[in-house]
Amino acid sequence: MSAFRFTAEALKVVDSGLALAKGAPAHLKATLEVSGHSYEMMLEATLVNTFGPSDSRHPECAFYGLKFATPSERDVLILHGYVGDHLVSELHTLWQMLQMASRLAA
């Protein structure tokens, strides 16, 4: 079984020449930060697609499509909170940029 580690600060996927096959099981361990709290998660998944190295700047990184097994209600809520936090942050940054641009145009 393959293990990937996700953290709130960075996503690290390392391919050391190991080719993972379509249909292979994956065990993902993630530590996500939501509203100032850290949550350890263990997610089961299956590789449904292998894209291999698809970024010429990072030929040593391979990318895979995953299908998650049915996550628990707790895991779903944490994932939604994590994504929501990041969407709000991105929208806030965009809003600030638009405000600055409208002031410059006026």
Domain count, the chain: 1
β-partners of residue 43 are: 28
> Closest Cα partner for 34 from 4, 79, 91?
79
What's the rounded mean pLDDT across residues 7-35? 68
Length of the chain in terms of residues written: 106
Where residue 12 falls among pLDDT bands split at 50, 70, 90? very low
Tens digits of residue pLDDT in 30-74: 889 888 899 998 888 888 887 777 778 877 777 778 888 888 999
Higher pLDDT, 39 or 12: 39
Alpha helices in 1-106 (DSSP H): 73-105
Host domain of residue 77: 2-105
pLDDT attached to residue 18: 66
At 52 the pLDDT is 72
**Rounded to an integer, what is the distance from CA 14 to the centroid of its chain?**
14
Average the pLDDT over each of 3-12, 54-63, 64-73, 82-91 and give the range with the smallest value: 3-12
